[in-house]
Structure 1
Amino acid sequence: MRWTLKPKPDTKKVEALQKALQVDKTVATLLLQRGIETYEDAKRFFRPSLDHLHNPFLMKDMDKAVLRIEKAITNNENILVFGDYDVDGTTSVALMSSYLKTRTNNIATYIPDRYDEGYGISYQGIDFAQDNDFTLIIALDCGIKAIDKVTYAKEKGVDFIICDHHRPGKNIPEAIAVLDPKQEDCEYPYKELCGCGVGFKLIQALASKEGKTVEDLVEYLDLVATAIGADIVPITGENRVLAYFGLQVINHNPRIGIAALIAQIKKQELSITDVVFIIAPRINAAGRMKHGNHAVTLLTEKNPDLAQQYAAEIETFNTDRREADKQITIEALEQIEELKEQKRFTTVVYNENWHKGVIGIVASRLTETHYRPTLVFTKSGEKLAASARSVSGFDVYNALEACSEHIEQFGGHKYAAGLTLKEESYEAFKQAFEDEVCKTIDRSLLIPEIKIDWKIDLEEITPKFYRILKQFEPYGPGNMSPVFMTDNLIDTGYGKCVGEDKTHLRLTVKQPKSNSFVCIGFSMGNKIDVISEKKTFQAVYSIDENEWQGNVSLQLKLRDLK
């Protein structure tokens, strides 16, 4: 692990913020690292308000989208709400269809089949719209690159409104309206919305025409917060506001489908981390193992008994997903072991029998294990399909773009993308991708990095300090849980490996003049020698709470030891 201390903010700014907020140096430093420089900035950060959301009509084409939907409602046209099969797509479809059903009965939903149709807008979906007399498709979390398909729909008399957040290509589809804040000529102030976030801006605009405010739409924010967490978008600016209020809905008044999912996992208060690791994988499992329609059905269900039944089915899909993911990861790691002596800058593995629904998860696991830009391929019909994941600091989307002559179709983000190619192009693409990464990557990015916010002593960790840190939530990209470093630690003699297979490390640390703190280091059992025989050491950690037999205490969650 590379330990990197974040740059120290300007001393005068730290002192000014300390004085303005009446906080200690560490808190002022953490805030400045997050771009919070004034009392007003801090007020917005610690007290998110729905008033902080931007006017949706600042987004390019929003007025056109609203006009077309209002015309469709007035004329009793049939509207098809189309979305991708992942969490962002299915929550977007649930959000848009739920809202539009309060305005008209002529609404249906369509999720493409991951295996028959693949990612994004499909010709089958457009044919379905024409065959069933739909004259308007609202596409969510996809469509920004669907130039040919939007043209095909136009020829069949079907209009498109696109709500996307992926990076556009050189040309934009000729839809009635294209809502995507990442378009170069879109002046919307916040660029990092997820697909469901863009969908929310559209219903916010539609509702405003009826004289409603964003307060009237709070019930939809459980879906938006779930998508924000699952899609790993920055939890800054507008996303932070949406996630903050969405979590309140999830915890206190969730829709019936989400309540049914929470009942399956029996957890009281959910954080955004719980949404990412507990709720999102279950919603995703439907599209991975069966069909994304199951997720939309659950998320729009009004009958509690039916919702419980659907949630139980999704729990089964999730169990199957975990088993497939585990087996494929083992097989992929075996492939990597065979290739290890080649000293490659990329990890590219392929097996035609791997389950297409879990290759993205496997790619993430391989990236964590081998820390290389990673592609996991499987057979998909006549083509090969892959999920790409990257290491921190490297843009895998740009690398794929540089290899586009070998690719049929691709799309995504800096750190996660998907692609398809012809089987005969696989070897040439694999080499081109390796060459491109070798040419462009900073070698230091191939060593995992821990970014440390600030160096502190244990005596600074008090209940009051932790209460302030809790107010930094919700955490996520752009506002990660603070990571601290402390020197001159010793184990008080209770350090040991724990867990069924003894892979975790549990110890109690102190400094010469401090109280002691219990530490837990998951998968860090191999570090037991660092702490043995009263040797002094350094630790990198975050702070959280441990609840045991009704007692709550602060503990340190270890990231690394030296």
Structure 2
Amino acid sequence: MRWTLKPKPNLERIKHLQEALQVDEVIATILVQRGIETYEEAKAFFRPSLSHLHDPFLMKDMDKAVARIEKAIADKENILVYGDYDVDGTTAVALMSTYLKTKHNLVYTYVPNRYDEGYGVSKKGINFALENDFSLIIALDCGIKAIDKVAYAKTLGIDFIICDHHRPGENIPEAVAVLDPKREDCEYPYKELCGCGVGFKLIQALAQKDGETTEDLIKYLDLVATAIGADIVPIDGENRVMAYFGLHVINTNPRPGIKAIIDQVEKTELTITDVVFIIAPRINAAGRMEHGNFAVALLADEEYEDAKKHAVDIDNYNLERRATDKEITEAALQQIEENKEQDRLTTVVYGEDWHKGVIGIVASRLTETYYRPTLVFTKSGGKLAASARSVRGFDVYNALEACKEYIEQFGGHKYAAGLTLEEENYEAFKQAFEDEVSKTIDRNLLTPEIKIDTQIELNDITPKFYRILKQFAPYGPSNMTPVFMTDNLKDTGYGKCVGADKTHLRITASQTDSNSIVAIGFGMGDKYELISEGKPFKAVYSIDENEWRGNVSLQLKLRDIKA
């Protein structure tokens, strides 16, 4: 692990904020590091308000999208809500369809089959619209690169509204409206919305035209918060506001589908991390193992009993997904070892029969193991399809773009992408990708980094300090859980390896003249020697609460320790 201590911000700014908020220097330091320097900015950060959301009509083409939907409702047209099969796509389809059904009863949904149609807008989906008399398709979390498909639909008399958040190519599809804050000609103030977030902006605009307020739409924000967490978009700006209110809905009055999932795990209060690790994998499992329609049905259910039945099916898909992902990860690790590819700067593996639905998860697992840009390929419809994952700081999308002569199509983000290519191009692509990464990556990025907000003493950790720290949530990219470093620690003699297989480390840490505090390091049992027999050590950690037999106490959640 590389420990990187963030630079200390300007002392005057820290002092100014400290006085304005009446907080200690550590809290003020962390806020200034996150770009919060004034009382007003701090108020907006700690007390998110729906009034902080931007006017949806600031988005390019929003007026056209609203006008076309209003026309479809007035003319009693059939509207098809079309979305990708992952969490962002299925939550967006559930959001848009359930909202439009409050205005219009001719609204239907379509999620492409991952195996039969692949990612994004498909010709099969457009033909389905033609055969069933749909004259308007609203595409969510996809479509920004579907130039040929949108043109094909136009020849059939079918209009498209695209709500996407992926980077556009050189040209924009000739749809009635293309809502994408990443369009170069779009001056929308916030660029980092997820696909479901763009969908929310569209229903916000429709509601505004109908004299409704954003408060009337709060019940849809549980879906948006789920998509924000799952799609790993920055949790700042509008995303922070929507995640904050969406989490409140999840914890107080969730829709039946989300309640049915929460009831399966008997969790009382969910954080954004719980959304990512409990709700999102189950929703994703439907599209991975069976069909995204099951996820949309669950999220759109109005009756709890119906949702409970759907949630049981989806939980079974998730169990199947976990077993499959474990099996393929083991096979991929074996392939790397057998081919003696541990010394490459990239991981590119291929299994003809690997389940296409889990190769993205396998790519993430391999990235955790070898920590380098990773691609996992499988055979799909006569071609090879892959999921790409990257390491922090390296843009895998740009690396793929540099190898596009070997690729049939690709799309995605800085850290995650998907692509297809002809089988005969696999070896040439594999070498080109390795060459491109070797040429462009900073070698430091190949060692996992822990970014440390600031160094503190154990005496700084008080109940009041933690109460303020808790209000930094929801956490995520651009607003990560604060991480601290403390030097000159010693175990009081109670340190031991714990867990069924003794892989975790539990320490009671103290510093000169400080109270002791329990620290837990998951998967850190092998570091016991560093702290045994009173040896001094330093630790990097976050702070959380431990509840045991009704008693709640603060504890350190260790990220790493060094002598």
TM-score by length of 1: 0.99
Task: Tell me what 1:73 maps to.
Answer: 73
Please list, as runs of the form range in 1=range in 2, the aligned pairs for 1:145-184 lying within 5 A after superposition.
145-184=145-184
1:379-432 CA deviation, whole Å, 9 max, x = no partner?
A: 111011110000000000000000011011100000000001111110010000
Alignment partner, residue 405 of structure 2: 405
1:438 aligns with 2:435: no
Question: What does residue 324 of structure 2 align with?
Answer: 324
Residue of structure 2 equivalent to 1:36: 36
C-alpha distance in structure 1 between counterparts of 2:76 and 2:29, whole Å:
57
Q: Which amino acid aligns with 1:156?
A: L
* Partner of residue 505, structure 2: 505
What corresponds to 1:14 in structure 2? 14
- Provide the residue aligned with 2:346 in structure 1: 346
Secondary structure of residue in 1 paired with 2:317: helix
C-alpha RMSD of matched pairs (Å): 0.7
For residue 450 of structure 1, give the secondary structure of its aligned residue in structure 2.
strand
**Pairwise mapping of residues 297-446 of structure 1 onto structure 2 (< 5 A)?**
297-340=297-340, 343-446=343-446
Supply the distance in 2 between the matched residues of 1:80 and 1:17 (Cα, whole angstroms). 51
Q: 2: distance between equivalents of 1:303 and 1:476?
A: 32
Greater alpha carbon shift after TM alignment, 70-79 vs 329-338: 329-338
* 2:271 matched residue in structure 1: 271
Corresponding residue for residue 541 of structure 1 = 541
Say yes or no: does 1:447 pair with 2:443.
no
Q: Which residue of 2 aligns with 1:241?
A: 241
Give a deviation string over 1:359-391, Cα, whole Å, max 9, x none.
111111111111000001111110111100000
Q: Which runs of 4+ in 1 moved over 3 A?
A: 339-342
Describe how 1:87-166 pairs up with structure 2 within 5 A. Answer: 87-166=87-166
* SS of equivalent residue, structure 1 residue 488: strand
Task: State the match for 1:461 in structure 2.
Answer: 461
Counterpart CA distance in 2 for 1:503 and 1:186 is: 51
Matched, 1:527 2:527: yes
In the TM superposition, what is the alpha-carbon distance from 1:342 to its structure 2 partner?
6.0
Instruction: Report the AA paired with residue 339 of structure 1.
Output: N
How far off is 1:303 after superposition? 1.8
Identical counterparts, % of pairs: 77
1:446-483: CA deviation from partner (whole Å, max 9, x where unpaired): 01100000000000000000000000000000000000
Kindly indicate whether residue 50 of structure 2 is the aligned counterpart of residue 47 of structure 1: no
Give the counterpart letter for 2:286 in structure 1: A
Residue 280 of structure 2 aligns with which residue? 280
In the TM superposition, residue 166 of structure 1 has moved relative to its aligned partner by 0.4
Distance 2:166 2:231 in 1: 11
- Tell me the secondary structure at the aligned position of residue 432 of structure 2: helix
Question: Per the alignment, in what secondary structure is the counterpart of residue 487 of structure 1?
Answer: strand
SS in 2 for 1:542: strand
CA distance in 1, matches of 2:504, 2:123: 50
Unaligned ranges ≥5, structure 1: none
1:338 Cα deviation from its structure 2 partner? 2.3
Q: Distance in 2 between the 1:114 and 1:325 partners?
A: 16
- Please list the CA deviations of residues 180-202 of structure 1 after superposition, one character each: whole Å capped at 9, or x if unmatched: 00011100000000000000000
CA distance in 1, matches of 2:265, 2:118: 30
TM-score (normalised: structure 2): 0.99
Q: Residue deviations 1:179-235, cap 9 Å, x none?
A: 000011100000000000000000000011110110010010000000000000000
Q: Distance in 2 between matches of 1:290 and 1:283?
A: 11
Tell me what 1:255 maps to. 255
Distance 1:340 1:509, change over 3 A: farther
**Distance in 2 (alpha carbons) for counterparts of 1:268 and 1:450:** 30
Letter matched to residue 256 of structure 1: P
One-letter code aligned to 2:18: Q
Q: CA deviation at 1:357?
A: 0.6
After TM superposition, the structure 1 stretch with the greater mean CA deviation from structure 2, 143-152 or 298-307, is 298-307
Map Cα deviations across residues 468-505 of structure 1 (whole Å, 9 max, x no partner): 00000000000000000000000111111111221111
Q: Are the equivalent residues in 1 in contact too, given 2:336–2:342 (CA < 8 A)? A: no
SS at match of 1:418: strand
**Amino acid of the structure 2 residue aligned with 1:209:** K
What displacement does 1:343 show? 1.6
Deviation readout 1:20-48 (Å, 9 max, x if unpaired) = 11111100000001100100000000000
| Secondary structure, aligned partner of 1:45 | helix
SS at match of 1:244: helix
User: Partner letter of residue 173 of structure 2?
Assistant: P
C-alpha contact 2:325 2:362 (8 A) present in aligned 1: yes
Task: Find the residue that maps to 2:285 and give its secondary structure.
Answer: helix
Deviation at 1:339, TM superposition (A): 3.5
Shift of 1:341: 5.5
Letter in 2 for 1:112: P
What CA distance in whole angstroms lies between the structure 2 residues aligned with 1:96 and 1:147? Answer: 23
Residue identity in the other structure for 1:176: V
Instruction: Describe the SS at the equivalent of 2:181.
Output: coil
Q: Distance in 1 between matches of 2:502 and 2:331?
A: 24
Whether the aligned pair in 1 keeps the contact of 2:495 and 2:507 (CA below 8 Å) is yes
Q: Which residue of 2 aligns with 1:471?
A: 471
**For the residues of structure 2 that align with 1:457 and 1:44, how far apart are their CA atoms?**
29
Counterpart CA distance in 1 for 2:321 and 2:393 is 29
AA matched with 1:185: D
Number of the residue aligned with 2:492: 492
CA distance in 2, matches of 1:3, 1:304: 47
User: What SS does the aligned partner of 1:121 have?
Assistant: coil
| Residue-by-residue CA offset, 1:333-352 (whole Å, 9 max, x unaligned) | 11122234562110111101
CA contact (8 A) 2:544 2:557 kept: yes
| 1:273-315: CA deviation from partner (whole Å, max 9, x where unpaired) | 0000100000000000000000000001112111101001100
For structure 2, which runs of at least 5 residues remain unmatched after alignment?
Answer: none
Further displaced range: 73-82 or 503-512: 503-512
Q: Secondary structure at the match of 1:391?
A: coil
Q: Specify the SS of the correspondent of 1:65.
A: helix
What is the alpha-carbon distance in structure 1 between the residues aligned to residue 111 and residue 61 of structure 2? Answer: 24
The CA distance in 2 between the partners of 1:77 and 1:313, in whole Å, is: 33
Q: What SS does structure 1 have at the residue aligned with 2:153?
A: helix
Partner of 2:214: 214
Kindly provide the amino acid, as one letter, of the partner of residue 191 in structure 1: K
